[in-house]
Amino acid sequence: MSRVLVTGGAGFLGSHLCDRLLRDGHDVLCVDNFFTGSKSNVAHLRSHPSFELLRHDVTFPLYVEVDRIYNLACPASPVHYQHDPVQTTKTSVHGAINMLGLAKRVQARILQASTSEVYGDPEIHPQTEDYWGKVNPIGIRSCYDEGKRCAETLFFDYHRQHGLDIKVVRIFNTYGPRMHPNDGRVVSNFIVQALRGEDITLYGDGSQTRSFCYVDDLIEAMVRMMDTAAGLTGPINIGNPREFTIRELAERVLALVGGTSQLVYRPLPSDDPRQRQPDITQARAVLGWEPRIGLDDGLRETIAYFRRLLGR
């Protein structure tokens, strides 16, 4: 049994990771400043003897004794990370420095939850880990994109300079229960609008593509990555390689929710990527992993969660 720190542990992904680590028999320290995370996401864990919740902002140093660190702390949706872009960059960069410093002090293995946004609006398709990306460094999404890119730089420099045991995964669009209903992400947007009987808002013509990975598949990959041998650093793409247009997603949500919502179109936001699809060759080879849960099955679970949350 390891003592594991999960930063951003009360968030969407972090809370599911805490669930999994506790099931695997670990002692879990969940750290969150509750900017986007919620105590309700981990309320069911508060009485667990191996779970501890600590309010803390990773832009400040943390002094604890742990064996492993999952660094997930950072607002991950445009609505949230553009609300305070300077703080978003600080969370990615200062947070990485502080968590890497902690890992160095206590000789812990540390995993960085990076993102497909490091590829920007990609010129190659699907995206492989050796692609350096096409990112606007001064756009409205740069606080997140460049913050995560800088965090990766720091992880690899700590690895080269200090021999730190690092792991880096690049997460593509993930969805599932405990998503924030107002986070502006496409899956939660469409489900909430459909459940409320509102029009479904598509940006652009709906032909841009995304690849959607259910949260349970994503967590499985992260745990497998953390358990790989020392020296296997990544980065490794984690996501579902099956690609859908945004319009196809909207139509599937409408079919599963029912109702009378209509599709409406709005201008495409600045720097919004036209396509996203992970090449998961490395994940298959190194982790023996590929997603198992299809989009319709994952959407049913997510819709059921939002029905309970919204009383619909």
Sequential DSSP letters for 60-110? S------SEEEE--S--SHHHHTTSHHHHHHHHHHHHHHHHHHHHHHT-EE
The three-state secondary structure class of 32 is strand
- Report the side by side order of strands in the sheet with 166-171: 51-55, 27-32, 3-7, 68-71, 109-115, 166-171, 236-238
Active site residue 175: no
Sign of CA dihedral 213, 86, 155, 63: negative
Question: 44's torsion region: left (phi>0), alpha (psi -120 to 50) or beta?
Answer: alpha
The span from the CA of 107 to the CA of 223, in Å, is: 19
Q: Residue 299: is it exposed, middle or buried by C-beta count within 10 angstroms (0-12/13-18/19+)?
A: buried
Tokens of 31: 């750290």
| DSSP-assigned letter for residue 25 | T
The three-state secondary structure class of 247 is helix
Tokens of 26: 């670990």
209 and 275 Cβ atoms separated by less than 8 Å: yes
Task: Catalytic residue, from 81, 144, 158, 214: name it.
Answer: 144
What angle in degrees, to the nearest 10, is found between the helix axes of 186-195 and 295-310? Answer: 60
Closest CA to 69 of 193, 194, 226, 271: 226
Tokens of 232: 């296997």
Residues 6+ apart with CB under 8 A from 180: 12, 36, 38, 77, 80, 188
Catalytic center residues: 144
